[in-house]
Amino acid sequence: MLENKVQKEWAKNGTVRLVDISQDFYLVQFAAEEDYKHALFEGPWLIVDHYIVVQRWRPFFTVTAKQTRKIAAWVRIPGLPIELFNDRFLWRVGSKLGTMLKIDKLTSIQSRGRFARICVEIDLQKKLVAQINVLGHILKLEYEGLHSICFNCGIYGHKQDHCPHSKINDGSDANSNPAEKPMDMDNQLEKSFSQKVNNHMPPEK
């Protein structure tokens, strides 16, 4: 099933070879660089609602749980003010979430008005950011293809109603959990917006 999925989705411009390196890990060799970039950046990829973890090859890779939790995922920012649809601000947001990889082409040319979309390499062993604060506006983040995210503890792998770290039962406020607190982006906003404004200022006479 995996072989068929890989050949169908990734072998667009050249051959793709799948090598089993044990314990459900596979090395994928691409003949065409375009196919490599497509596989790495255009996910997430799902097989029967199971996520395929795709990561760049790292030298001296060994099969350990710690090294397999970084994935490239698309993150949506619904409701972002149109003034912030600029590469500098979005790049700063992505860098706060993980390793920023790229900005969706339609977002970059500002033809996608409903939401901004960025591709970020995130570590699933770390708490994921649920929302950001931009000038007092709380904007929720949506992680495409990642269905089992708990924003009670911020960890991937289970839903909030099955969270082993939930504090709801002891009467405390679930919103007090750090995973629920929005990441403040006002400092990044000031840098990005001032840069954008300055670039359009007329020269002083």
Instruction: Give the per-residue pLDDT at 205.
Output: 44
- 70-78: strand order across its sheet: 99-103, 115-123, 70-78, 142-143
Give, for 18, the enclosing helix (H) or strand (E). strand 16-20
The half-sphere exposure of 112 on its side-chain side, counting CA atoms within 13 A, is: 18
Q: Which of 42, 40, 35 is nearest to 55 (CA)?
A: 40
User: How far, in Å, CA of 43 to CA of 51, rounded?
Assistant: 10
pTM above 0.75, yes or no: no
Q: Which sequence spans correspond to the domains of the chain? A: 2-42, 70-199
Name the one residue in this structure whose structure tokens are 């969706």.
104
pLDDT along the chain (205 residues), means of 10: 88 94 89 94 74 82 68 87 87 94 78 80 86 88 80 70 64 48 70 49 46
